Amino acid sequence: MIVTQRAYARAGLVGNPSDSYFGKTISVILRNFAATVDVWESPRLEIRPHDRDLSNFESVGGLVDDVERHGYYGGVRLLKAAIKRFADYCAANGGPPLDHNFTIRYHTEIPRLVGMGGSSAIITAAMRALCEFYGVSVPREVLPSLILSVETDELGIQAGLQDRVAQVYEGVVYMDLDRELVDGRGWGDYEPMDPSLLPPLYVAYDARLAEPTERPHRTVRVLYERGDPRVVEVIRQIADLAVLARDCLLAGQPDRLGPLMDRNFDLRCEIFDILPRQRAMVEAARSVGGSAKFAGSGGTIIGTYRDRAMLAMLRERLEAIGCQVIRPQIT
C-alpha cells in the first residue's frame, strides 16, 4: 500500500517577513500548487530523487548558473533531514519502533524558490506521510515547529514558522509568533480565519527571480540581532499591520486590506534590498489600481483588485514583464 500526502504553496498576506523575527502575520494557502510525497514499505530505506535534484549538467557553466540561481538545493536533502527529525521526535515522545523500511519519493508543482514555501511544503507532506505510515500522531500546534526544525536544526537554514503554520492549518491563518510563546512552549497562537472575509486576491510570480530564501534576510537578520533601532522598529510596524488586517477583516471591512498590504511592502523597502525586477512587479500592479506586496522572499507578489476589469489590466501589465498571474485557490 502506498501512503500519499500533500502540502500546498502559501502566500504571506500581511505581516511578513516579521514572522522570522517573532512578529505576526496572516497567510493564505495556495491550492493551485502542491508538493506530494509517497511512502511505501520496502526491504531497504530508499529516497528517490526528483527531476529537480539535478546531478548532471551540460557544462561547468550550467552547474554554476544553477547554483547561482537556486543555491545547493534539492528535495533529497529535505527528505533525509525530515526522516531524521521524525525519528528523533518518535524517540523523544515514546513513538513506535521504526522497524520496517520504506521507499519515499516526492513530486512538486510549486514554482521553485520564488517565495511560495516550496521547501517547507515538501517537508510538511513528508512528515504527514511518515506519520501515517508509522501510525504516529503529532499535535497540530506542535507539527509546524517540528517541520521548521528540519530546516533550522538539521540543515542550518534560517526560516520562520509562517510557512509551516499555513501549510499545516491551511485556509487562512492569523498567527502571533511572540518570542515568549515560541521560546516557552514551542509554538505561537494560531487562529484560523474564514476565507469568505477576504476581498478578491491575485497572485503573480516570475520564475526567473528564483533565489534561496535566506539570501535577502542575511543583512537584516544580523542588524536585528544586534538590536539596530531602525530595523527593530520597522519589523514591529510590519507585525502591527497583521493585527490591523485581522481586525478589519473580522469587522467586515475587506476594502481596508489593500492599503495595509501596500504599506507592508513600503516598510519592507526601508530595510531590505529590493531587486529592480522585483520592484517592477509591484509597480506594474499598482499602476492599474491593485495593491501589491511580496508573498514571501521576492519572486511572488500578492494583492487585491476591485473587479474583473482591474484583474484583466493586472494580467496584461504583469504578463508583459514576464509574470504569470493566478487567482489563489484557498479553499
- Report whether 213 contacts 16 (CB < 8 A): no
Residues marked as catalytic? 163
The DSSP bridge partners found for residue 47 are 104
CATH of residue 261: 3.30.70.890
- 3-class DSSP assignment, residue 17: coil
The total domain count for the chain is 2
User: Where in the chain does DSSP place strands (E)?
Assistant: 3-14, 24-41, 46-48, 102-108, 172-176, 189-193, 201-205, 293-294, 300-304, 324-326
Same domain, 268 and 311: yes
What is the rounded CA–CA span in Å between residue 305 and residue 327?
11
The DSSP bridge partners found for residue 294 are 301
Per-residue pLDDT of the chain (331 residues; tens, 9 = 90+): 999 999 999 999 999 999 999 999 999 999 999 999 999 999 999 999 887 776 778 899 888 887 776 666 678 999 999 999 999 999 999 999 999 999 999 999 999 889 999 999 999 999 999 999 999 999 999 999 999 999 999 998 888 899 999 999 999 999 999 999 999 999 999 999 999 999 999 999 998 887 666 666 678 889 999 999 999 999 999 999 999 999 999 999 999 999 999 999 999 999 999 999 999 999 999 999 999 999 998 799 999 999 999 999 999 999 999 999 999 999 9
Q: What's the full length of the chain, in residues?
A: 331
Q: Is the dihedral of CA 145, 147, 150, 152 positive or negative?
A: negative
Residue 180 neighbours by CB under 8 Å, 6+ apart? none
What is the rounded CA–CA span in Å between residue 198 and residue 195?
6
Nearest to 315 by CA among 204, 198, 199: 204
Which one of 195, 215, 239 terminates a domain? 195
Give a yes or no: residue 331 inside a domain: no
Same domain, 299 and 157: no
Same domain, 8 and 118: yes
- Domain boundaries, position 280: 198-326
Q: What integer pLDDT is reported at residue 67 of this predicted model?
A: 76
- Report whether 315 contacts 223 (CB < 8 A): no
Same domain, 176 and 216: no
Residue 247 neighbours by CB under 8 Å, 6+ apart? none
Q: What integer pLDDT is reported at residue 181 of this predicted model?
A: 93
Cα–Cα distances in angstroms (integers) from residue 317 to residues 63, 164, 213, 314, in the given order: 33, 32, 26, 5
Q: What integer pLDDT is reported at residue 159 of this predicted model?
A: 84
Task: Give the DSSP letter string of 237-253.
Answer: HHHHHHHHHHHHHHTT-
Same domain, 23 and 52: yes
The predicted-structure confidence for 287-317, as pLDDT tens digits, reads as follows: 999 999 999 987 999 999 999 999 999 999 9
Same domain, 67 and 110: yes
Q: What is the b/e burial string over 221-233, where b = at least 16 CB atoms within 10 angstroms of the residue's CB? A: eeebeeeeeebee
